[in-house]
Chain A
Amino acid sequence: MRKTNINWLKKKREGLYCVPGNFFIDPVFPVEKALITHAHTDHARPNNKSIFSSKETIELMHLRYGESYCSDFQIASFDEKIKINDVTVQILPAGHILGSIQFLINYKGYRLLISGDYKRTKDKTCLSYEPVECDTFITEATFGLPIFNHPNDESEVKKLIKSIKANVNKTHLIGVYALGKCQRLITLLRNLGYDETIYLHGALTKISDFYSKNNIKLGKISNISDCSRSEYANKLVLCPPSSLNDKWSQKFKNVVKGYASGWMRIRQRVKQKNIELPLILSDHADWGEILKTVNDVNPNEVLVTHGREEALVHYLTKKNFKSSALNLIGFEDENE
């Protein structure tokens, strides 16, 4: 019987704190030392003194926050174990977005796996999730309900290509998150043979260029401001979700509005956002993937954070896992 008593992990105002390592993981407020799982803004915040993460995550934080990204950083690599105070830390890919990692923290032989956000579906823009055995597993539950069962990503992207072909005179305006979803959608489109220029809202170009520099082939992409008004028809334009219904999007007449997100599984959400073309495309594990991952990492205890914790905790408890909700604040339920 393995020990399950993890009294060296604390919840503090700033976030999750590892006592023997004297560091925080994805803190909400600036701290001395932070381990960052990935560069999404609810996990990676500026002004930490020292950060420890993958090379890509640190570079993305620099790109987003400028000089306030940190005062000191340490790049983690996959083939070494780093000693931080009394613990050793190993990183593994999380399959969520470019640079996303998990932390395996070992203290006196007890292994804690913090997975951050992750998915198991293959994604050409990042390394695939790598499971590892552990004693305590911290999992996200963004889609922690059995209703979430993400369909095949290619068949979703085919819907978009089909709609572009069927509505020749219309602009297709698709809402995507700037970091991750945008580039994954482009890559999927390219794999399915869509080779037209894809136009990007200004907020998406910087990160897409970063992906290109990291050898992720996005094909012909262009800033939408380089496109004259008369040429909008029959174009595919990607923008941040918040721009779908703001003033910026009003310059496009005759549009089909789409949104690429795991939330598009639910009709009510689709209707609420006035989406005509929902694309169920998620960078988070769905219900089946979460359960598969729990089985793969085979922990004695599962701690569930941000999302729909209740159902997952209930189910895992029923399956004889020690399980509880972590109830961290600061992580937006609805972000992808």
Chain B
Amino acid sequence: MNDFVELLNDLILSPSRKKKIDLLKIFFCKSNLKDKGWAFCILTNRMDRKFVSVKELKELIIENYDEDLFRFSYDYVGDLAETISLLWESNNEKNTKINLHEFMEIFSNFDHKNKFKTKLKYFLDRSSENQRYTIIKILTGGLRVGVSNGLIKEALKLSGVRKKSEIEEFWHGFKLPCTDLFEWLDGKKLPKYINRKKLFNSFMLANNYNSNEFKSCKTDDYIAEFKWDGIRAQIIFSEDGKIFSRNGEDITNSFCDINTFIKGYFVVDGEIVVKKNNKVLSFNHLQKRIGRKNPSKKLIEDYPIHFIAYDILFYTSVDCRALDLIERKKYLNRFINICKFSNISTSSLIKFSSWDQLQNIKETSLNNHIEGVIIKKKTSLYKKGRVVDGWYKWKRNPFSVDFIIMYAQRGHGKRSSFYSDFTFGCWVDEQFTKLVPVGKAYSGYTNDELKSLDRWVRNNTVERFGPVRSLKPGLVVEVSFDNINYSSRHKSGVALRFPRFSRIRWDKPISQVCSLKYIKDLIN
């Protein structure tokens, strides 16, 4: 296990991509097959479940440590695994020497909740700080050690006989504990359970639109489509169809009202939205469906799903990814004609003859649930990731409103010494006497601005409640947000989507900030 503990620690501290790849390569070379497999599963977050929840971990630490001291520490460190690993008092004499795969086998075969905690405590008691950190990170999943899948593919390519493109094709097929992946990399046959036609395919992604780059581009070479505010999905239509989310997660059950059963094999890329009475509804509505594994009949009726298809990767035996966009669109239309499912449609193309005109369409579109437009080069092939000369997203200009800062809270982790999370609000009415909180923002400022904000907070505190400070009304900030909707969950009655600071108005008097009525009028 210690090799893996060291690997994680080194990966966290290594600043360069090359060094990280080297570290992984060395680890994959020297470790035994079983350890390699498990390490791969951990690094690529391939576990079928979380072994332990945040709640259970908190319970464990509180059973063994002063609860308040834990809370103060957690508030400061921001990372649960790190907090626990630093607080836990271990007995180093009992130090355990267990292999990574032995450790993983113990925990992946565990199903008794209470004994699980005892077992985890057993290991924490016998570990060093670094080992504890690794153990907890493994069991909670989501390592965040700055290792992308791309980096791991790079390291695997270097240690085996397979090409990167081959690794890419079968990447999503290998199952826990992935020892067969490493055998395959060494030249053995693919495991029988891998069926290429059931695997998720990597998505093509959009770059950000840059008006300078497009100035000289002919609009004739591009198509444009609306960017709907839904979730990206890949649907495999076959006799054993599947729906995958943006990161390849199987979400078939959550969206069971989309029929994926069809003879043949078609892989379609598009956006999942909620559509009722011929109208696409806001993301808030879609949120009711996300994460529900077995939606009730009522939920399905209240929030019916619609799939807006915009690309096709496979049309039976044709690998459309190697065809240009216009050809692919033809295949997509043929597929839509075959399937005839009422809740699947193609994304319509926007007619435009200049970039200015497209911008105008994007900004004036009456539909509130359009985030902007996507521009796609007609000759582009379907490739993984963000491709130059491929797709570009051009978002709508955000709303922008001045608010007054009301509360500040210390950040987490690396921002834990700064007041970086701000609650802002506006006047309740035109009398300018009472404020109501409207939203929270914790981004959009530079590091220098953060320092000035932090200083302002410390000098204008009225009251302190733990990590939160209540502030004297005095500082105006311009806040940008992508959208605004009514909300019964907020005191103000409105909810902003992705609010962030766009400017700090040190100069502006608070009497010039608007009232809640003005904000509500922004909703269409």
Write the residues of chain A forming the contact surface with B, with a CB cutoff of 8 angstroms.
145-147, 149, 257, 265-272, 274-278, 308, 310-311, 314-315, 329, 333-334
Contact = CB atoms under 8 A, between A and B. Distances in A.
A323 B422 CA distance: 30
Interface string B275-310: 000000000000000000000000000000000000
B87 A147 contact: yes
Interface stretch (B68-76, B108-116, B218-226): B68-76
B79 A146 contact: no
B14 A276 contact: yes
Nearest to B10: A276
Contact of A329 (B79, B86, B413, B458): B458
B72 A267 contact: no
Contact of B77 (A268, A272, A314): A268
B72 A308 contact: yes
Contact of B76 (A276, A278, A308, A329): A308
Contacts of B82: 266-268
B79 A314 contact: no
A275 B13 contact: yes
Interface string B464-476: 0010000000000
B72 A311 contact: yes
A314 B69 contact: yes
A324 to B, nearest CB: 13
Nearest to B76: A145
A308 B12 CA distance: 26
B13 A149 contact: no
24 contacts: A146-B87, A147-B86, A147-B87, A266-B77, A267-B12, A267-B133, A268-B413, A268-B416, A270-B13, A271-B12, A271-B414, A275-B13, A276-B13, A276-B15, A277-B13, A311-B68, A311-B69, A311-B72, A311-B73, A314-B68, A314-B72, A315-B66, A315-B69, A333-B417
Nearest to A265: B86
B15 A147 contact: no
Given A146-B86, A265-B86, A311-B73, 10 more contacts: A147-B86, A266-B77, A268-B414, A271-B13, A274-B15, A276-B13, A310-B72, A311-B72, A314-B69, A315-B66
A112 B413 CA distance: 36
Contacts of B87: 146-147
A267 B137 CA distance: 13
Residue with the highest number of chain B CB atoms closer than 10 Å, among A145, A149, A257 = A145
Contacts of B86: 146-147, 149, 265
Contacts of B68: 311, 314
Q: Chain B interface residue count: which class?
A: 20 to 34
A146 B73 contact: yes
A121 to B, nearest CB: 18
Nearest to A151: B129
Nearest to B82: A267
Interface of B: 12-15, 66, 68-69, 72-73, 76-79, 82-83, 86-87, 133, 413-414, 416-417, 458, 466
Contacts of B69: 145-146, 311, 314-315
Residue with the highest number of chain B CB atoms closer than 10 Å, among A265, A267, A269, A274 = A267
Contacts of B78: 268
A146 B75 CA distance: 12
Contacts of A329: 458
Contacts of B15: 257, 274, 276
Contacts of A311: 68-69, 72-73
A308 B83 CA distance: 15
Residue with the highest number of chain B CB atoms closer than 10 Å, among A257, A271, A277, A315 = A271
Contacts of A270: 12-13
Contact of A147 (B77, B414, B417): B77
B72 A269 contact: no
Contacts of A145: 69, 72-73, 76
A314 B66 CA distance: 11
Nearest to A276: B13
Contacts of A271: 12-13, 414
* A-B interface, 3 closest residue pairs, ranked by CB to CB distance from nearest: A311-B72, A272-B414, A147-B86
Contacts of A277: 13
A269 B414 contact: yes
B73 A278 contact: no
Nearest to A149: B86
A147 B76 contact: yes
A2 B14 CA distance: 55
A311 B12 CA distance: 29
Residue with the highest number of chain A CB atoms closer than 10 Å, among B15, B72, B413, B417 = B72
Contacts of A272: 414
Contacts of B73: 145-147, 311
A333 B419 CA distance: 13
Residue with the highest number of chain B CB atoms closer than 10 Å, among A265, A266, A269, A274 = A266
Given A310-B466, A314-B69, A333-B417, A268 B13 contact: no
Contacts of B416: 268
B357 to A, nearest CB: 45
B7 to A, nearest CB: 15
A76 to B, nearest CB: 33
A257 B466 CA distance: 35
A304 to B, nearest CB: 13
A14 B82 CA distance: 39
Contacts of A265: 86
Nearest to B467: A310
A270 B77 CA distance: 12
A200 B133 CA distance: 35
A308 B73 CA distance: 10
Nearest to A314: B68
